[in-house]
Structure 1
Amino acid sequence: MDALDRKILTELQLDGRLTVTELAARVRLSVSPCHRRLRDLEREGAIRGYRAVVDPAAIGLHFEAVVFATLRWEGRDTVTAFEEAVTAIPHVIQAQRLFGEPDYLLRVATTDLAAYQQLYDQQLAQLPGVQRLTSTLVMKSVVQDRPLPEQPSRG
């Protein structure tokens, strides 16, 4: 991946709806080579997909919590069961496995505190292998959906 590919990725992160013509103009490249590079980036997996970034409040999700989960270690099956169960909960909008304790960080979005409590009691607390859950309520998002930083090419 060279500097031009990185510039293409940066521009697409800022506006994923750019046409190839607009993208080519922004990265100072003619349309055909830009289109080839774009297809290569998609084929190689550098671009995993395109989507709209939706404001949670616009669809009634006004409440967010960060949940730290610590598991009882009962073997590899515990991790698999936990991850499969977390994946099945639509209100978990992000889940990351961590080194050390806690084992997982979950971002959860709901309509309000009452909906979160119900989700917590009925689903989160029932997740396989959970030893402890700790919730922190999000007061305000300061940085969100930021494009990845452009890395200089190594050469």
Structure 2
Amino acid sequence: MDRLDREILALLQEDGRITFTQLAEKVRLSLSSCQRRVRDLEASGVIRGYRAVVDGASVGFGFEVVAFATLSRPDVLEEFDAAIAEVPEIVEAQRLFGEPDYLIRIVAADRDAYQRLYDKVLSRLPGVRGLNSTIVMKQVVAPRALPVVRHSFG
């Protein structure tokens, strides 16, 4: 991956709807070279997809929770992974080293909706020994683009 690929990635992360013509102009490539590079980045899995960034509160998901899950035993990892992947309100999850085993980001309409989700779904996930939740008070840094263009801070 060279400097041009990184510039292309930075621009696509900033505006996923940019046209190939605009993208090619910004990175100073021919249209066909730019299209080929983007297709290569897609084919190699560097670019995994495109999506709109939606404001959760505007669509009825103004309540956010970060939960930490601890599993009862290691042989349930795959089953737990599959189960959380099926819960639409879980918008992000990472398996961690040590305890807790998972960090899970969950959205809901409000506290009551989260309580129902917790009681009926989350507390019944396979192998859960403990689930500790904390309410997000304020999003200080929203999910953002990866810093693919190298910056010099020194």
Where on the TM-score scale, by shorter chain, does this alignment land: which range? over 0.9
CA distance in 2 between counterparts of 1:101 and 1:124 reads 18
Alignment match of 1:107 (pick from 101, 105, 112): 105
Q: Which amino acid aligns with 2:112?
A: A
Alignment of 1:80-95 (within 5 A): 80-95=78-93
Name structure 1 gaps, 5 residues minimum: none
Q: Provide the secondary structure at the position in 2 that maps to 1:24.
A: helix
CA distance in 2 between counterparts of 1:47 and 1:72 reads 36
CA distance in 2 between counterparts of 1:124 and 1:144 reads 25
Alignment of 1:60-99 (within 5 A): 60-73=60-73, 75-76=74-75, 78-99=76-97
Alignment of 1:6-155 (within 5 A): 6-73=6-73, 75-76=74-75, 78-150=76-148, 152=150
Task: Report deviation, 1:24.
Answer: 0.9
The share of aligned pairs that are identical, in percent, is 57
CA distance in 2 between counterparts of 1:70 and 1:30 reads 52
CA distance in 1 between counterparts of 2:148 and 2:89 reads 31
CA distance in 2 between counterparts of 1:99 and 1:20 reads 41
Tell me how many residue pairs correspond in the alignment. 150
Task: Report deviation, 1:151.
Answer: 5.1
Report the TM-score when normalising by structure 2: 0.94
Aligned CA-pair RMSD: 1.0
Q: Provide the secondary structure at the position in 2 that maps to 1:135.
A: strand
Task: Report deviation, 1:139.
Answer: 0.5
Task: Report deviation, 1:149.
Answer: 0.9
Q: Which amino acid aligns with 2:62?
A: H
Task: Report deviation, 1:28.
Answer: 1.8
Q: Deviations over 1:30-49 (max 9, x none)?
A: 21211111111111111111
Task: Report deviation, 1:145.
Answer: 2.3
Report the TM-score when normalising by structure 1: 0.93
Task: Report deviation, 1:99.
Answer: 0.5
Task: Report deviation, 1:143.
Answer: 1.2
CA distance in 2 between counterparts of 1:57 and 1:26 reads 34
